[in-house]
Every structure is written in structure tokens, then in C-alpha cells.
Structure 1
Amino acid sequence: MNALIDGPDGHPRCRWCATAPEFLAYHDTEWGFPVKDDHRLFEKICLEGFQSGLSWRTILAKRENFRAAFHSFDFDQIARFTARDVERLLQDPGIVRHRGKIEAVIHNAARAQELVALHGSLASFFWRHEPDAGQLGEPQTASTSEASISLSKTLKKLGWKFVGPTTVYAFMQAMGLINDHAQGCVIRSKAQQARSAFKRPHAARG
């Protein structure tokens, strides 16, 4: 199947961005552009965990509600959540009310703090797992990769939850660790320019 579709401006884009009205802006301005803000990185890996078994459209539609419920994914604040907060969140109709996923976000917040203590930032840890160009296959032809499998295993060893290889691959696509825009997509070159100009964070020296 052709991976491209003409956008409203007549330029070709990844076909998936036409499957829901709200996907176009997300595709054009966020997906595949490199991110080094720790809260955004933590938000995305949490939201990908919430997406497990659901559609990204469902999660994207609720994203602002998730941000309000989880203090803009400030993991230092979330790590202090208690059982009372879990019960509060389970009553919040604006988010996905799944006990295991909610508890995983709180649990992972503490793991995020541990990574920051070791590496200086989440960004410095995650960007260490950026794959070499030679490791990448044709865009949008896989749901996992060697790099996502490796990162998933590392996160699980560190105690993270809801971080399987498919979840991690979607995280890497969205946060710009790879440029998975389809060949010929008008945004692919823009994402690549952003990646070329992006200053990779370095781990703190200890």
C-alpha cells in the first residue's frame, strides 16, 4: 500500500495522518522532531504505555487531561503520589482509568528520578540509544527495531513498567530518535533538518 497521501495543501504526507482530523497538526509539528525536554520525554513514554491496547487517537484526544492529572508529567511531583492519588485518578473521566497503567506512571516516575541521578537527565539516557542510520530499515515497515528491543530490555532491568519493544519503538519514532516519516513525505526533510541541527545531550560525568 502507498505510504503517502496528499495533504490539504497538496503536498504528500504519511498516510496515517489523514486517519483522524487531529493527526495532521501532530504529524506536521511534533512527530519525528527531536526532543530533549525531560518532562516531554517522560510524558510520551507514559502516554505510549496508556495507549497499549487502545488507539493513539484516544490518547491524543485526552492528552491535555492527562497533563492536568499528572502535573504536566513532572516526575518529581508524580513520584510523591500516594494510594489516595491513585483512587483520585481512577475517578477522573478525562483520562484512561486503568489502575495498572496509572500505578505504572507513579512507579516509573521514581525510576525516572533514578535515571536522572545517574545520567544527569532523561534526555542524556534516552539519546544514548539513538540507532545508527545503518540500523534503520525502510520507514514505517516495522513496529519494533533492534534499538527499541535493546532499550526496552534496559528499561525493564531498571524496573520500568509498560515499556515493551513496540511501546518503546513508538516513543522513539515520536521523539525524533529516528526519522520514520515515509520517503516522499513533505515533513520528512523538515524532521531531518531538525535532527541535524539538534544538539544531543551528554551524560553527566560522575
Structure 2
Amino acid sequence: MHDYKWLNEYCLNRFGSAKALEAHLPDARTPQQLRAISDDRYLSTMALRVFRAGLKHSLVDAKWPAFEQVFFGFDPEKVVLMGADHLERLMQDARIIRHLGKLKSVPRNAQFILDVAHEHGSFGAFIADWPISDITGLWQYLAKHGSQMGGMSAPRFLRMVGKDTFIASNDMVAALNAQNIIDKVPTSKRDQAIVQDVFNQWQAESGRPLCQLSAMLAYTVNH
């Protein structure tokens, strides 16, 4: 695999200057900022990610104020009490996206967030404290304990809340394939561990957050 020096020089050549490159790179929230996010906002973002999956994001986003209303501002303590009858009634509400499986995931994820918060003080504390050197372990934890958080939903949720993570986009996978690291989206624990090791090395060499390294790697793919 190429080292960080190669990655940096490739991106500098593409954008023409360090300033132009930096303008195209994302930032991650600090642990303190992640801790400050309330559990209801984590639940709202988790639900937003679930409903965005497979749908046009702008369609889901336009309906989100109605979701905030029918799910009580995504207060986990309230949402967790929503039973099957309540969800069936929501299936008649034309203001929201009426997908029963995704609707059912919301109270399930409310319980998940409450369980984590009970153990760690808050869901934000749990997210903030998880080491980025094992970010794929957090993907796996969210997929196992959350509802409809498998595939790429966990890393995309983490990116949405600002937790530092790389994203296995098509361009990033193509770039890793070009270096003979992986040849497909890393869904298995083995492939995720391989990609984690690569990013850990680049992170150690550069001091950059994973989200920036992920973007830089994607930029090495020519369109």
C-alpha cells in the first residue's frame, strides 16, 4: 500500500495547493462536542439515517419536521413507550414516510440508546469515548445492538453526528482496490480490520482525522 506522503502529494497535485485541498476536507466533532449532543438528537439522527437508506435524502429531509412531531421530539423515554397500535396509527399519517419496518426501528433504537445511556451516562459519552483506532468495532456494535443499522448505515450515522470515521464509498473502495487492499465494500469483520489497519497507519503518519483521510483517498479516483 502507498504511504501517507503519496496520498498527500496526489491530492495536492489534484487541487493545486494545500489551502484548496483543506477546503474540500470534512471535519469531525471533538469528544466534548459529541458528549454535548443530547440523546434525543442521537435518536433523531439514527432514525433519519434509517429512513434515508434506499430513499432520496431530500424527500426524507423535507418530511423530517413531521417525524419530529409524531415521535415526540425523539425523546427516548417517550418513544420507547410507543406500542404496535401507535405505530399502526402512524401508518395512516400521510405527513411521514409510511414504512412499517422502519417505523418499528425507532422505539427499538430508543431502547438501545436508553440501555447505553444507563451504562455510560449518556449515549454521547459512549460515542465520544470509543477509540477511532477501532472505529469499525463501533460500526459492528451499532449494527448488532441497533435496529436497521447494518451495512453502511452505522458509519454514515456516525458521520452525520460528527464522530470521526472513514466511509466505504464507491470511490474509496475503488481506491483501496487499486492498491490491492480490498476488492469490495468491507462488510466482513476481516475486511473491516484490514481497512482499519490501513487508516490507522495513515493516521499515525499524518495526524489527520479518519474522515479527512477517507475523503483524500476518494479523491485519488479519476472520473
Q: TM-score, normalised by structure 2?
A: 0.56
| Unmatched segments (≥5 aa) in structure 1 | 5-11, 15-26, 133-145, 181-191, 193-206
Following superposition, the deviation at residue 118 of structure 1 comes to: 0.9
Does 2:160 match 1:168?
no
Residues matched between the structures, number: 144
CA RMSD across the alignment: 2.9
> Are residue 119 (structure 1) and residue 120 (structure 2) matched?
yes
Deviation at 1:13, TM superposition (A): 6.8
State the SS of the aligned residue for 2:152.
helix
Letter in 2 for 1:77: K
Structure (1 or 2) with the larger CA radius of gyration: 2
Identical positions, percent: 25
**Partner residue of 2:47?**
46
Distance 1:54 1:70 in 2: 20
CA contact (8 A) 2:39 2:113 kept: no
Q: Secondary structure at the match of 1:62?
A: helix
Change (3 A) 1:109 1:179: closer
Query: 1:39-93: per-residue Cα shift (whole Å, max 9, x none)?
Result: 1111101110111111221221111111001011101101101111111111111
Contact 1:127 1:177 in 2 (8 A): yes
Give the whole-Å Cα distance in 2 for the aligned partners of 1:49 and 1:130. Answer: 24
* Change over 3 Å in CA distance of 1:55–1:118 after alignment to 2: same
**Where do 5+ consecutive residues of structure 2 fail to align?**
1-10, 16-21, 167-208, 210-223
Q: Which has the higher contact order (CA 8 A, sep 6+)?
A: 1
Deviations 1:146-182 (CA, angstroms, capped at 9, x unpaired): 72x4223212433x211124112222212111288xx
Larger helix fraction of residues: 2
User: Is residue 62 of structure 1 aligned with residue 63 of structure 2?
Assistant: yes
